[in-house]
């Protein structure tokens, strides 16, 4: 299952990035990536290079950071592109095509999030379920609703299996706290790889968006309450 981002720049050049959503899913070949990555992988992808403080992986067993290895082709493709360069971006998903005229970093923000959330990183991989309903150019409100909705569906499934659900979203808040730590370290990692600022700014923006959801979860939900009323739904036994 693929999602494709096609960038058409004002000078007539194009860049296309295809993301296989199932490349790191259970049963996929170990080390499988989106497409052929540089061989050998660049030094900044080594697990022990600016490794995230909360990374559960061991450099003795994993030579490379899974998210960095998957991002390497995209970072290489956009390393010389400035963030405010204009482009026509078309995002093809299995269900629809979404297009927008925007600055490169706006599209890269969505693309980077998609790649990282479908990597084999044990922390980022928790968001793999969101990739199936990927929403390019999402606002913080849209990200909040998708994140909370996905989490609560998971808790409902847990309850149906006899587990104790977390309706207070404690686990989701803890996950976003971990993301904040990860994002700070990952930005330092990517600093070593980029000549211009498009990818770096995209990662920074994605990090700010993730952190914003985590820090303001209760406030954001309060703001959205008028749109989430359950009045009128059939009563349940």
Q: Could you report the per-residue pLDDT of 53-85, keeping only the tens digit for each?
A: 999 999 999 999 999 999 999 988 888 888 888
Residue 105 and residue 204: Cα distance in Å, rounded?
10
Whether residue 235 lies inside any domain: the answer is no
- Asked whether the beta carbons of 15 and 7 are under 8 A apart, the reply is yes
Whether residue 86 lies inside any domain: the answer is yes
- Give the pLDDT band of residue 8 (cuts 50, 70, 90): very high
Give pLDDT, residue 211: 59
- Asked whether the beta carbons of 152 and 146 are under 8 A apart, the reply is no
Whether residue 232 lies inside any domain: the answer is no
pLDDT over 70 percentage in the chain: 79
Does position 229 have pLDDT exceeding 70, yes or no? no
Whether residue 236 lies inside any domain: the answer is no
Give pLDDT, residue 32: 42
Whether residue 223 lies inside any domain: the answer is yes
Does position 231 have pLDDT exceeding 90, yes or no? no
Give CA angle at 121 (128, 110), nearest 5°.
50
Give pLDDT, residue 29: 44
**Count of Cβ atoms closer than 10 Å to residue 196 Cβ:** 15
Q: What is the mean pLDDT of residues 116-137?
A: 91
- Give the pLDDT band of residue 234 (cuts 50, 70, 90): low
Pairing of strands 97-103, 86-92: antiparallel
Name which residue leads in pLDDT, 205 or 17. Answer: 17
DSSP state of 12: S
How big is the chain by its Cα radius of gyration, in Å?
19
Whether residue 234 lies inside any domain: the answer is no
Give pLDDT, residue 45: 93
Give 185's contacts (C-beta < 8 A, 6+ positions apart): 50, 51, 52, 53
Range in 13-27, 50-64, 97-111, 202-216 the model is least confident about? 202-216
Q: Which one of 134-138, 141-145, 228-232 scores highest in mean pLDDT? A: 134-138
Whether residue 62 lies inside any domain: the answer is yes
Which segments within 49-141 are labelled E, that is strand? 86-92, 97-103
- Taking alpha carbons only, the member of 118, 110, 70, 62 closest to residue 90 is 110
- Give the pLDDT band of residue 236 (cuts 50, 70, 90): low
What is the rounded average pLDDT for all residues in the chain? 83
- Give the pLDDT band of residue 111 (cuts 50, 70, 90): very high
Domain count, the chain: 1
Task: Give the Å distances, CA to CA, from 37 to 26, 41, 42, 71, 145.
Answer: 21, 7, 9, 9, 34
202-209, Cβ contacts within 8 angstroms, sequence gap of 24 or more? 202/83, 202/105, 202/108, 202/109, 202/111, 202/112, 203/112, 205/105, 205/109, 206/109, 206/112, 206/113, 206/116, 207/179, 207/180, 207/183, 209/109, 209/113, 209/140, 209/143
Whether residue 233 lies inside any domain: the answer is no
Name which residue leads in pLDDT, 122 or 210. Answer: 122
Give pLDDT, residue 36: 45
67 lies in which domain range? Answer: 2-227
Reported as a single tens digit per residue, the pLDDT across 195-226 is 666 776 777 666 555 655 655 677 767 776 77
Residue 220 CA from chain centroid, whole number = 20
Reported as a single tens digit per residue, the pLDDT across 142-200 is 888 888 888 899 999 999 999 999 999 899 989 988 988 898 888 888 887 776 667 76
Residue 203 and residue 114: Cα distance in Å, rounded?
11
């Amino acid at each position: 299952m693929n999602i494709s981002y096609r960038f058409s720049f004002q000078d007539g050049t194009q860049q296309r990035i295809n993301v296989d959503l199932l490349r790191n899913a259970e049963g996929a070949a170990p080390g499988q990536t989106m497409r052929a990555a540089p061989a050998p992988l660049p030094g900044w992808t080594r697990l022990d290079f600016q490794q995230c403080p909360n990374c559960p992986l061991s450099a003795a067993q994993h030579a490379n950071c899974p998210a960095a290895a998957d991002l390497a082709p995209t970072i290489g493709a956009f390393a010389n592109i400035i963030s405010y360069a204009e482009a026509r971006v078309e995002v093809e998903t299995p269900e629809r095509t979404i297009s927008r005229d925007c600055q490169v970093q706006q599209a890269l923000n969505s693309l980077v999030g998609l790649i990282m959330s479908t990597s084999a990183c044990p922390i980022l991989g928790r968001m793999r379920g969101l990739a199936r309903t990927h929403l390019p150019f999402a606002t913080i409100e849209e990200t909040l609703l998708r994140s909370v909705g996905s989490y609560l569906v998971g808790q409902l499934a847990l309850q149906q299996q006899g587990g104790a659900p977390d309706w207070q979203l404690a686990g989701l808040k803890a996950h976003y706290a971990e993301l904040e730590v990860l994002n700070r370290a990952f930005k330092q990692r990517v600093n070593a790889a980029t000549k211009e600022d498009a990818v770096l700014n995209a990662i920074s923006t994605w990090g700010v968006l993730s952190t914003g959801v985590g820090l303001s979860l209760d406030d954001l939900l309060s703001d959205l309450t008028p749109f989430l009323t359950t009045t009128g739904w059939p009563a349940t036994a």
